[in-house]
């Protein structure tokens, strides 16, 4: 017998099955800078498309547009819409400037099909939030970085690479767990507790130092329990930010990107344990139904604290995507392919 706490929700679900296409995200929107009077050229369109393909494939060392051999005449078939936008930005002196950018929305199914035809991996929109700590050492001393210009550039580059970067508040609660020495030394364990506070999926640190001639930067990050890093030097802080985020994108896309032939297709059974009230049930339902590779789902059975779902899947590796979640934990997979999950 089904528990009474699920009865109203199951009745609604019986009348309204969750089927439909997930809307395209900003992953398929490319931008490039224009001069005020510059006409939109095919070269600008190719640059916007290249940004989208880098974001989806994680290919940061080579231009995906050049690798595939996309011609200027081919771009229009991928475009959904385009517009000019005028944005206010800060320069390094803190002065406000304006710039004109071309923003191009590309049609997601066409872009996905392009990657499939050329057997290139694609990383979907389920991406872990990255909790990034930055320590800065310059003529003013060592401190947590909070420079508005640097924060603006960080946000711009994170958007360019399709990364969800969260910056800690740096309040007393944060600093009770993480200090400047931890960041400069890359001691990632100190920041693990903060992942729960900020609902992030992974932690990264950047140690920025100014010398007489250049800036040095040491990046540290942890992905699925494995620590990695990058040391570099450059003439400016923005260059170090850009190179570090590019390396993070490459690492994440290398882990979670999949070629179309490797994607899940068809129906998957998923059993979720540990659901004790309607709020938790609704949260799990919304999460599973909102996954980019899930076209729809049905509830098969509700018993005790356990709900069994049938997911209609058409792209992506379900296990990899769920592993990014801070809502569900994978317990095991049965011989028949049923995925058994537990609510965190």
**8: pLDDT strictly greater than 90:** no
pTM: 0.81
pLDDT at 10: 39
Among 39, 71, 106, residue at a domain's last position: 106
Q: 98, 88 in Cβ contact below 8 A? A: yes
Angle at 1 between CA 3 and CA 269, to 5 degrees: 85
Q: Is residue 142 part of a domain?
A: yes
Residues 67 and 90 in one domain: yes
* 164: containing domain: 130-256
Do 68 and 140 lie in a common domain? no
Let me know if residue 72 belongs to a domain. yes
Residue of higher predicted confidence among 5 and 272: 272
Q: What does the pLDDT read at residue 154? A: 95
User: What is the DSSP pairing of strand 79-90 with strand 130-138?
Assistant: unpaired
Asked if residue 192 and residue 271 are part of one domain, the reply reads: no
Residues 202 and 285 in one domain: no
User: Is 9 domain-assigned?
Assistant: yes
335, exposed or middle or buried, with CB in 10 Å at 0-12, 13-18, 19+? exposed
Highest mean pLDDT (candidates 30-44, 152-166, 274-288, 302-316): 152-166
Within a domain: 112 = no
Q: What share of the chain is helix, strand, coil (3-state, %, to 5)?
A: 35, 35, 30
**Residue range 255-298, pLDDT digits in tens:** 888 876 666 678 889 999 998 888 989 999 988 888 877 888 88
Same domain (yes/no): 151, 235? yes
Each residue's pLDDT tens digit, 10-42: 333 333 322 222 234 589 999 998 876 677 888
The residue that leads in pLDDT, 258 or 237, is 237
Residues 248, 174 share a domain: yes
Distance (Å, whole) CA 230 – CA 233: 10
Q: Same domain, yes or no, for 276 and 324?
A: yes
- Which CATH number is 218's domain given? 3.30.160.100
- Size of the chain in residues: 344
Tally the domains of the chain.
3
**Residue 87 to residue 52: CA distance in whole angstroms:** 20
């Amino acid at each position: 017998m089904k528990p009474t706490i699920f009865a109203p929700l199951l009745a609604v679900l019986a009348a309204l099955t969750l089927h439909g296409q997930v809307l395209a995200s900003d992953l398929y929107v490319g931008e490039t800078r224009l001069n005020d009077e510059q006409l939109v050229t095919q070269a600008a369109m190719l640059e916007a498309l290249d940004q989208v393909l880098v974001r989806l494939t994680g290919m940061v060392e080579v231009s995906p547009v050049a690798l595939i051999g996309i011609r200027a005449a081919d771009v229009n078939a991928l475009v959904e819409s385009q517009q000019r936008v005028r944005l206010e930005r800060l320069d390094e002196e803190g002065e406000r400037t304006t710039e004109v950018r071309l923003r191009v929305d590309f049609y997601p199914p066409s872009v996905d099909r392009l990657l499939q035809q050329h057997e290139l991996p694609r990383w979907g929109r389920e991406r872990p939030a990255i909790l990034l700590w930055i320590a800065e050492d310059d003529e003013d001393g060592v401190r947590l970085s909070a420079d508005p210009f640097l924060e603006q550039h960080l946000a711009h580059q994170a958007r360019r690479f399709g990364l969800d970067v969260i910056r800690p508040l740096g309040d007393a609660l944060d600093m009770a767990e993480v200090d400047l020495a931890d960041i400069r030394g890359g001691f990632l364990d100190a920041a693990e507790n903060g992942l729960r506070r900020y609902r992030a999926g992974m932690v990264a640190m950047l140690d920025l130092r100014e010398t007489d001639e250049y800036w040095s930067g040491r990046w540290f990050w942890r992905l699925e329990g494995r620590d990695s890093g990058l040391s570099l030097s450059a003439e400016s802080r923005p260059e170090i930010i850009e190179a570090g985020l590019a390396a993070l994108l490459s690492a994440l896309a290398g882990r979670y990107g999949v070629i179309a032939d490797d994607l899940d297709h068809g129906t998957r059974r998923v059993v979720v344990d540990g659901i004790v009230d309607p709020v938790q049930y609704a949260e799990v339902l919304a999460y599973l139904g909102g996954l980019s590779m899930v076209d729809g789902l049905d509830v098969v059975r509700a018993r005790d604290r356990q709900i069994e779902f049938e997911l209609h899947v058409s792209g992506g590796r379900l296990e990899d995507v769920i592993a990014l979640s801070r809502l569900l934990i994978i317990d095991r997979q049965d011989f028949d392919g049923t995925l058994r999950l537990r609510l965190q």
